Structure 1
Amino acid sequence: MDERTVRAAAARDLDVLVELRAEMFRAMQVPATDGRWRTNARRWFADRIDRTDYRIVVVEVAGTVVACAVGAVRDAAPSPGAPDGRDVLVSNVCTMPDARGRGHGRAAFEAVMTWARTTGAGRAELMATGAGRPLYEGAGFLVQDCPAMRAALG
């Protein structure tokens, strides 16, 4: 197996982070016809890459970024599952198609989870695709009876 490096993302990774996000949407079969999201996503990553309440991780193989994952501390109203009102949202776990099946996405996810345990938040949350579900269930994530629902506001 190629040697991999798992590291915090840097400004030089902004374009590949957007491309990995695009790949995630392709894998989820989400149409991405409006190109504005790419410019906005690049800005979003740039604005958060050095913030301590975010952890953006990339996995590099032979000098090329092949996977990523994002963690974000969220401030929410306290609840029985998060008595302090803080949790970590895990998102954007993705691997380039030609690098899949080698544990790179898992390595990025695990690095985010290691960081998440240092934040003081009491739980982590994510939305999983069918392909990612076994990884997340193996890490202790449970399927909830109340799945996410969305509505367009515009």
Structure 2
Amino acid sequence: MTGGRVRVATLSDLDALIELRTEMFRATGEHTAHPEWPGRAARWFTARIDHPDHHLSVVEVQGQAVACALGSLSESQPRPARPFGLDLHVSNVVTLPEFRGRGHAGAALRAVLDWGRSRPGPVRARLFATPEGKSLYEREGFRVSAWPSMGAELS
């Protein structure tokens, strides 16, 4: 990474986190924003920023948060080959367009993965990748699952 410093996000980063999350969706082609979006996002981040099951990393360049990544832990359901452990859902890995190509997203991602590795017991990380982010995730050990994700809007 060139020219940035990775740190844990604080409430003073709230506006930047909303801006970065908005940029992530813009990059995936989601251009419509509901009027309640900023307020709901602010409340969501505020409730999780200091929560022990969530880790928000930002990359700061000259006092500005320009990239971030989020990790959220949940208890794994027991299965025959893995009867215990945690799942780390990685999301919100994004860099502002003018700061891309400098390793900032990778640095924020690695901070979240390191946090996940520091948790007790085995931790399995999962994420949804855009085509642009796939090579970054592969460098960090992620592979396409044999069981692809599916989704349905229920309301």
TM-score, length of structure 2 as denominator length: 0.92
How many matched pairs? 154
TM-aligned CA deviation for residue 59 of structure 1: 0.4
User: What is the aligned partner in structure 1 of residue 84 from structure 2?
Assistant: 84
- Name the % identity: 47
Residue 85 (structure 1) shift: 4.5
List alignment gaps of at least 5 residues for structure 2.
none
CA distance in structure 2 between the aligned counterparts of 1:81 and 1:39, rounded to whole angstroms: 42
TM-score, normalising length: structure 1: 0.93
Q: Deviations over 1:100-121 (max 9, x none)?
A: 0000111100111110101134
Q: Does 1:103 align with 2:94?
A: no
1:40: how far off? Answer: 1.2
Q: Counterparts of 1:47-126 in structure 2 under 5 Å?
A: 47-80=47-80, 82-120=82-120, 121-126=122-127
Per the TM alignment, residue 150 of structure 1 is displaced from its structure 2 partner at its CA by 1.5
Q: Deviations over 1:104-148 (max 9, x none)?
A: 111100111110101134211111000110011111111012222
* Alpha-carbon distance in structure 2 between the residues aligned to 1:147 and 1:51: 29
User: CA RMSD, aligned part only?
Assistant: 1.6
- Letter paired with 1:96: L
Instruction: Report if the CA contact (8 A) 1:25-1:32 is conserved.
Output: no
Cα distance 1:87–1:25, how it changes in 2: closer, same or farther (>3 A)? same
* Cα distance in 1 between the residues matched to 2:94 and 2:80: 31
Q: Give unpaired runs (5+ residues) of structure 1.
A: none
Is the Cα contact below 8 Å between 1:73 and 1:119 reproduced in 2? Answer: no
Secondary structure at the aligned position of 1:88 is classed as strand
The answer as to whether partners of 2:2 and 2:103 remain within 8 angstroms in 1 is no
State the Cα deviation string for residues 2-24 of structure 1 (Å, max 9, x = none): 63111000010011101100000
* CA distance in structure 2 between the aligned counterparts of 1:8 and 1:136, rounded to whole angstroms: 20
Measure, in 1, the Cα distance between the counterparts of 2:56 and 2:108: 9
